[in-house]
Amino acid sequence: MVEGPGRFGLAGLLVWIASLVVQPALATAAPLDRGAFAAALCGDGAAQTRSVESFLGIASEAETSDVAWAGTALRALLDRRFACLGETALLLDRAGAAEGVDAATGAARPAAGGRSPVLGLRQRALVETASGAAVLLTAPGVEARRTGLATLERRIAAVPEALLLRAASAETDPGLRLSLAAVAQSAALSSADPARRLAAIRAVSEAPSGAARSRLSALKADPAYGTDPAFRATLDAALARVERAVSIGDGLAVLYNGLSFASILFMAAAGLAIIFGLMGVINLAQGEFIMIGAYATYGVQEALRRLAPAWLDSYLLVAIPVAFLASAGVGIAIEALILRHLYRRPLMSLLATWAVSLFLINGVRVAVGSQNLQFSMPSYVSGGVPLYADFVVTWNRLFAIAFAAVTLVLTLVILKRTPLGLDIRAVTQNRDMAACLGIRTRRVDRLAFGFGSGLAGLAGVALCPIYSVNPGMGANFIVDSFMVVVLGGVGTVVGTLVAALGIGGANVLIEPLYGAVAAKVIVLAGIILFLQRRPEGLFAVRRRR
C-alpha cells in the first residue's frame, strides 16, 4: 500500500508519483544468483566491482529476501567475516571462526583453509554503498534505515534512481520519506540528462532551506553554468528564490527566539517591578527565585518518577503551582526576617538581598550539587514543526511564550480585580494615605513580596525545557530584569511587558552580529540614552504626594 503525498510538499509529491510508476514492476522481481554473487566477491577487484554494481542495478527489482541476504554478505565482507574456500563462500559469526555457513545454501561447513577477500579503496567504498542500500530497503527499524540512507548520501552518484524510488514507495516514516526525497533530488542534480537536472533544480527551489541553497550554489561550478543559457537562467532564478525564502525564515527565527527570550524576561521582571515599585527595594536575589522555581520543578519531576511514573509527562504542569508557592514562601520568609527591618534604607536592603542571593546559591550547591540538572522532555515541549524555509516552531519556546501570556493575563486580573491588587496599587501610590484608610501596609508588603517572588519562580518553570538549570542560572537574568524594570517604568506591568519585548528582541537581533557581551553593552547604552530624555521610563506610575 503506497501512502499519498500528504504534507510532504512538491519534493515528496514527485517521489510519490514516481514510486507509483516503479511499484508495479516489483511484482516481477529480478532474481539474484546468490552463488555467482558470492563467488564474484571472492574474485579480484574488477570482479568485485562488477558484482556490486550489478547488485545496485537490480536491487530496485530484486526480491526483498535476496536484498537482505546480499546485505548480510556485504556486511560480512566489510567485517572480515566472509571466507572464500575454493569455489564456496562462507559467512562466519566472527572473524577467524572455525566454522561458517555456505553463503549460497546456508549449510554449515568448516572454515579451515578459507581466506578473506582483499578490498581495495574503490571496492570498499562501493561495498559500503551497496550494504547501505540493502539496509535502507530491508531493515525493520527506522533508525537503521536512516543510517543506510546516510551511507548512500556519501556516494549518491553510484546509486540508481530506481533504488531510491523503491525505498520511497515502501517507507512509512514521514521524516525519512522527506529525507529520501532530498537525496533523490541530489541524485537528479548530478544527472547527465539536462531536462532532469532542470526539473530537479526547480524541485529543490520549491523546498527552500540552507541545505538547498548549498546544493544549488555548488552547481555554479558546473561547466553547464557557463555554456548553457537555460541552465544558468534556471539556476539563478532558483537560487534567488531560495535565498529570499531563507532570509525570511531567518528573520522569523530571530523574531521567534526574541519573543521567547522576552517571555522569560517578562516573568522574571514582573515580580521585580511590583516589589521595586511598592517598597523601593532593589532585590538582587530575584534571580535566585527563578532558580528556586526551576529546582522545585525538578523535585516534582523526580517525585512523579518515583510515585506516579504514568504521570511523568505532565510534571511541568504539576510544577506550576509548586514552583510558585516554593518561591513565594521563600520570598515571604526573607521579607519577614530581613527586609522589613530595612525599609527606607535602600543601600542596606540592596546589600542584604545580595547576601541572600549568595546564601541561596551556595546553599543549593551544598544541598544538591553544582551540576546541571537533567530533565526529561515531555512530548508537548519536544521537537517542533517546520514552518517556512529553515524556521522551525519549537514546542519548548512556544510553551514559554504561551505560559508568559497566561501569566500576564492572571497578573493583570489580580492587580486590577482583586482586593490584594487594589491594596498594592493604593500602597504604591501613597503608603501613608493607604495606612490612614485602614489598609495594613505591612501585610501588603509581605504578600506583594511573596507574589513577586512567585512570578520569578514561574519563570524558572518556563526555563526548564530551554536553558541549563544550575545554582547560578539566576545571575544570567538579574541584570536584564533590572533593565526591563527601569526602561518600562517602575511598578507598571504593561511597561514591563513592552520593555521585555524590546530588550529581548534587541538582544537576540544584535547577538549574532556582535556577540553576547557586545549585545548587552549596546542595549545598556541605548537604555541610558533613552532615560536621559525620559527618566521615568516608558510608562510612569501615577503617585499621589
Query: Packing angle between helix 9-22 and helix 161-170, nearest 10 degrees?
Result: 100
Element (H, E) at 504: helix 493-514
Are 50 and 167 contained in the same domain? yes
Q: Where are the alpha helices (DSSP H) in 207-314?
A: 210-218, 223-227, 229-279, 286-307
pLDDT band at 440 (very low <50, low <70, confident <90, very high): confident
Are 265 and 181 contained in the same domain? no
Neighbour count for residue 315 (Cβ, 10 Å): 24
Among 141-155, 352-366, 370-384, 494-508, top mean pLDDT goes to: 352-366
Tell me the mean pLDDT in the region 529-539.
78
Nearest one of 65, 69, 60 to 38, comparing CA atoms: 69
The answer on pLDDT for 544 being more than 60 is no
Of 190, 212, 230, which residue is a domain's last? 190
Q: How far apart are CA 109 and CA 88, in angstroms?
A: 10
Is residue 283 a contact partner of residue 356, using CB atoms and an 8 Å limit? no
524: which residues sit within 8 A by CB, 6+ positions away?
Answer: 483
Q: How far apart are CA 543 and CA 545, in angstroms?
A: 6
Provide the pairing of β-strand 88-92 with 82-85: antiparallel
Provide the pairing of β-strand 99-102 with 88-92: antiparallel
pLDDT of 110 reads 87
Are 271 and 362 contained in the same domain? yes
Tell me if residue 500 falls in helix, strand or coil: helix
The answer on pLDDT for 463 being more than 80 is yes
pLDDT of 30 reads 58
Give 53-76 pLDDT, tens digit per residue: 888 888 888 888 889 988 988 998
Is residue 140 a contact partner of residue 124, using CB atoms and an 8 Å limit? no
pLDDT of 490 reads 67
Of 190, 217, 246, which residue is a domain's last? 190
What are the DSSP calls for 146-157, one per residue?
HHHHHHHHHTGG
User: Which segments within 10-160 are labelled E, that is strand?
Assistant: 82-85, 88-92, 99-102, 108-110
Are 289 and 428 contained in the same domain? yes
Is residue 524 a contact partner of residue 517, using CB atoms and an 8 Å limit? no
pLDDT of 8 reads 40
Give 96-125 pLDDT, tens digit per residue: 788 888 888 888 888 888 888 888 888 899
Average per-residue pLDDT for the chain: 83
Tell me whether residue 297 is in a domain: yes
- Indicate the range of 122-126, 192-196, 421-425 predicted with least confidence: 192-196
Is residue 412 a contact partner of residue 493, using CB atoms and an 8 Å limit? yes
Which of the 8 DSSP states describes residue 56? H
Q: Where are the alpha helices (DSSP H) in 380-492?
A: 395-417, 419-429, 431-436, 441-463, 475-488
Of 190, 211, 244, which residue is a domain's last? 190
Q: How far apart are CA 251 and CA 225, in angstroms?
A: 30
Are 186 and 285 contained in the same domain? no
Is residue 78 a contact partner of residue 130, using CB atoms and an 8 Å limit? no
Instruction: Give one word for 76, left, alpha or beta, with left for phi > 0 and alpha for psi -120 to 50.
Output: alpha
Q: How far apart are CA 343 and CA 337, in angstroms?
A: 12
Instruction: Domain count for the chain, please give it.
Output: 2
Element (H, E) at 412: helix 395-417
Q: How far apart are CA 451 and CA 109, in angstroms?
A: 79
Tell me the mean pLDDT in the region 508-534.
80
Tell me the mean pLDDT in the region 505-520.
78
Are 264 and 156 contained in the same domain? no
Domain that holds residue 433: 254-533
Q: How far apart are CA 368 and CA 362, in angstroms?
A: 10
Tell me whether residue 61 is in a domain: yes
Q: How far apart are CA 145 and CA 139, in angstroms?
A: 6
Are 154 and 300 contained in the same domain? no
Tell me whether residue 20 is in a domain: yes
Is residue 294 a contact partner of residue 322, using CB atoms and an 8 Å limit? no
Tell me whether residue 218 is in a domain: no
pLDDT of 18 reads 45
Element (H, E) at 387: strand 384-388
- Indicate the range of 270-284, 318-332, 411-425 predicted with least confidence: 270-284
Q: How far is CA 356 from CA 214, 242, 247, 330, 488, in A?
A: 52, 53, 46, 11, 26
Are 491 and 403 contained in the same domain? yes
Tell me whether residue 529 is in a domain: yes
Tell me if residue 388 falls in helix, strand or coil: strand
Tell me whether residue 206 is in a domain: no
Is residue 249 a contact partner of residue 390, using CB atoms and an 8 Å limit? yes
Are 424 and 280 contained in the same domain? yes
Give 282-320 pLDDT, tens digit per residue: 788 888 999 999 999 999 999 999 999 889 889 999 999
Tell me the mean pLDDT in the region 395-414.
90
90: which residues sit within 8 A by CB, 6+ positions away?
Answer: 82, 83, 84, 100, 101, 102, 103, 109, 111, 114
pLDDT of 540 reads 62
Give 474-507 pLDDT, tens digit per residue: 887 888 888 888 888 766 778 888 888 888 888 8
Which of the 8 DSSP states describes residue 501? H
Q: How far apart are CA 26 and CA 30, in angstroms?
A: 8
pLDDT of 454 reads 92
46: which residues sit within 8 A by CB, 6+ positions away?
Answer: none
Give 200-251 pLDDT, tens digit per residue: 888 888 878 887 888 888 888 888 888 888 889 999 999 999 999 999 998 8
Tell me whether residue 2 is in a domain: no
pLDDT band at 167 (very low <50, low <70, confident <90, very high): confident
Tell me whether residue 307 is in a domain: yes
Give 352-366 pLDDT, tens digit per residue: 889 999 999 999 999
Which residue type, as a one-letter code, is found at position 421? G
pLDDT of 294 reads 93
Are 184 and 321 contained in the same domain? no
Q: What is the pTM of this model?
A: 0.69
pLDDT band at 24 (very low <50, low <70, confident <90, very high): very low
In the numeric block, the cell 572454515 is attached to 111
Q: How far apart are CA 539 and CA 545, in angstroms?
A: 18
Are 356 and 492 contained in the same domain? yes
Give the CATH number of the domain where residue 276 resides.
Answer: 1.10.3470
Are 371 and 508 contained in the same domain? yes
CA atoms within 13 A on the CB side of 314: 6
Q: How far apart are CA 425 and CA 451, in angstroms?
A: 14
Q: How far apart are CA 441 and CA 58, in angstroms?
A: 85
Q: How far apart are CA 146 and CA 173, in angstroms?
A: 10
